[in-house]
A = this chain, B = another copy of it.
């Protein structure tokens, strides 16, 4: 067993060795203010037990030195990072052309900033990306909580989060686990467009949605179905992959089949923003006019739709509110608030433009 010299001596040796000071520490502040580091720490954390005079003196030194405590050191001891993680998909140009994720991210960042929390971002293109995002953000305690797109994580990751009791909220519903989430009323929104189309006199209304196993697609399908059923009509739903080039080709083929056959639908409910452009491209290639040959209603509005030819009628989602709700829910969870609602479902509204035609 050896004798450890007191900190001050060790310190002195170290600084004598390298000489040059690279940055300020709490010890510098303490020395200049003529107090101990513990006292400075208390001032920094607005903890009680510091005399008014001492406090102002320390504060002045902090100000003069322009001192800012080191986040890593602080995190290490308090076991919180002051950051939340956000994992969103990033799959091709359309998901960024749509304003859904950007607006959501903005809202989350805003809300976090209001609580002096930072946002650590991961965008995931592939399964691999998702896993590396998961690894790099969650492991190593880089963040205190997580907002994640419902479709992002697989069952394995979700279950692990659940098991660890790690605070997270999903945007949208996961196919795998039931957990805190925020979402829009998908069924209601789908019903809104479908009923609009029906009201305009259409009887053969088809739906084009994303992959059938996604809960949001399922919900939109249900809304569409219920509206059709209420009108005594047969639903005709088609599904396609989102995003990539092959998906666009697939969607076109689907629409060629669908719109080439007789009797072909007179109206199409495009149940996802990502599918609007491919659908438009397909009708154009087929020489079909919207809305006279085919009426088009979409899920997920975009400000630019106003200026499309024709202006697109779409269900508008309160994306900004959604992001804020996600962040609020997460912070509630992180603070262990038992009273917080388990999930938040926000209403949609229909923005009527001209792509569905007008009343006959």
Contacts and interface: CB of A to CB of B under 8 A. Distances in A.
A10 B18 CA distance: 30
Contacts of A277: 303-304, 306-307
Contact of A120 (B4, B83, B97): B83
A6 interface: yes
A238 interface: no
Nearest to A311: B309
A76 interface: yes
Nearest to A109: B123
A349 interface: no
Which has the most chain B C-beta neighbours within 10 Å: A120, A142, A310? Answer: A142
Contacts of A1: 3, 5-6
Interface of A: 1, 3-6, 68-76, 81, 83, 86, 90, 93-94, 96-97, 99, 101-103, 105-106, 109-110, 113, 116, 118-123, 125, 129, 132-133, 135-137, 139-142, 277, 280, 302-304, 306-311
Contact of A118 (B73, B97, B136): B136
Contacts of A109: 90, 121-123
Contacts of A5: 1
Nearest to A6: B1
A235 B318 CA distance: 43
Nearest to A137: B118
Given A133-B113, A307-B308, A308-B307, A141 B94 contact: no
B119 A121 contact: yes
Sorted nearest first, the 6 A-B pairs with minimum C-beta distance are A309-B309, A68-B139, A4-B4, A72-B75, A71-B140, A102-B102
A129 B113 CA distance: 9
A317 to B, nearest CB: 14
B123 A110 contact: yes
Nearest to A105: B121
Nearest to A71: B140
A166 to B, nearest CB: 11
Contacts of A102: 96, 99, 101-102
Contacts of A122: 109, 113, 118-119
B99 A96 contact: yes
A70 B141 contact: yes
B99 A97 contact: yes
Contact of A132 (B71, B90, B113, B123): B113
Contacts of A142: 71, 118
Contact of A106 (B71, B90, B119): B90
B123 A120 contact: no
Contacts of A106: 90, 96, 123
A303 B106 CA distance: 21
Nearest to A75: B72
A141 B83 contact: no
Contacts of A125: 110
Contacts of A110: 90, 123, 125
A302 B303 contact: no
A94 to B, nearest CB: 7
A72 B120 contact: no
Given A71-B81, A94-B303, A118-B120, 16 more contacts: A3-B3, A68-B139, A70-B140, A72-B141, A76-B76, A83-B120, A97-B99, A101-B102, A109-B123, A110-B125, A113-B132, A113-B136, A118-B122, A119-B120, A277-B307, A304-B308
